[in-house]
Amino acid sequence: MHDVLSLFKRNINQLFGITVDILNVGRSLQQLSLSMQILANNGVVQAAKIQGGKGRPMLALVEILNNTPKEIRPEVAALEHLCAGLAKVTASSSNIVWRYHQLIASLLSAMAHGDRSSASSNLDTLSHLRFTTAADITHLTQHPSFAVAGALERENRQFMVNLCQANLAELHERLKDALRCLGETQQALGGLKMIGLTARYMAFCIASEAAGLAEAEANFKNLSTEITRVVDDLDGKTLAMKKAIEHGQELLDLLLKGYTYAK
């Protein structure tokens, strides 16, 4: 029974890893936005070389691209803020589950050693309990060995039970907070996806405009290809973040139901 609770505790700590994964991908987007800026600057230079006003539409397109880093920066800052919140909630959950684990261990130790002479001190019948839900704790109090003790010990055991229930309730609140944080992070990803879609559309427009530019066509087609490659990279990173968030949500859903994640 302790093993399940230990795994439960480890699962909560795994949220730290998920937070770091999200944060690292988020930070790598800053680098990606710089690549986009370099491409936009390149586009401005190329468009300026085109004679007779033919470069104006191209100039307008690359100006839009030039805004991409400015748009990505606040999105990444928002992600960092959300990840910091998630890390804080995870740290708090980790502390609570650690205390809770110790209290359950204390209770079981008290029950196992309370009345050594009695067969009721055998806790084997509790082996199916995971101690990850309030119902499990209630079940524990119904075991014969819980009541086999003097008045003082019984009172202390009930005190420990109340504390366990309070810790578990607090833990559930923190896990719900973590789930909410992940949901908000997922929403923040939507903003990044929109930026990617806009940049991809710009790349398409640049390629179309380039068709009528004779000798400059090749340069702009290359630029369009490079922009598409950067946007592909952005999509890859947002997908990685999405997977990390979904893994976190799956983990939290299990933990909130009192289950563990063994993978």
- In this structure, the number of other CB atoms found within 10 A of the CB of residue 24 comes to 14
- In this structure, the number of other CB atoms found within 10 A of the CB of residue 135 comes to 11
Assigned token pair, 189: 């990803």
User: Which residue stretch of 55-63, 131-139, 148-156, 228-236 sits at the interface with other proteins (rule: CB under 8 A)?
Assistant: 148-156
CA angle 165, 170, 173 (to 5 degrees): 130
Least gap, CB of 159 to other proteins (angstroms): 5
Buried b (16+ CB within 10 A) or exposed e, 27-52: eebeebbebbbebbebbbebbeebee
Compute the Cα dihedral for 143, 145, 149, 153 and give only its sign.
negative
Task: Please say which residue, 59 or 163, places its beta carbon nearer to other proteins.
Answer: 163
Whole-number Å distance between alpha carbons of 21 and 241: 7
Does residue number 106 form part of the binding site for other proteins (CB under 8 A)?
A: yes
Does residue number 1 form part of the binding site for other proteins (CB under 8 A)?
A: no
Among 105, 134, 197, 218, binds other proteins (CB under 8 A): 105
Does residue number 10 form part of the binding site for other proteins (CB under 8 A)?
A: no
Q: Which of residues 153-172 bind other proteins (CB under 8 A)?
A: 153, 155-157, 159-160, 163
Task: Please say which residue, 78 or 163, places its beta carbon nearer to other proteins.
Answer: 163
Among 16, 24, 98, 205, binds other proteins (CB under 8 A): 98
Q: Which of residues 66-95 bind other proteins (CB under 8 A)?
A: 92, 95
Does residue number 126 form part of the binding site for other proteins (CB under 8 A)?
A: no
Among 152, 257, 262, 263, binds other proteins (CB under 8 A): 152
Task: Please say which residue, 159 or 201, places its beta carbon nearer to other proteins.
Answer: 159
Alpha-carbon dihedral of residues 145, 147, 153, 158, nearest 10 degrees?
110
Whole-number Å distance between alpha carbons of 1 and 185: 34
User: Which residue stretch of 22-30, 151-159, 214-222, 240-248 sits at the interface with other proteins (rule: CB under 8 A)?
Assistant: 151-159
Cα 221 to chain centroid, rounded: 38
Task: Please say which residue, 26 or 114, places its beta carbon nearer to other proteins.
Answer: 114
Whole-number Å distance between alpha carbons of 87 and 137: 28
Does residue number 102 form part of the binding site for other proteins (CB under 8 A)?
A: yes
* Interacting residue ranges for other proteins, rule: CB under 8 A: 92, 95-96, 98-99, 102-103, 105-110, 113, 150, 152-153, 155-157, 159-160, 163
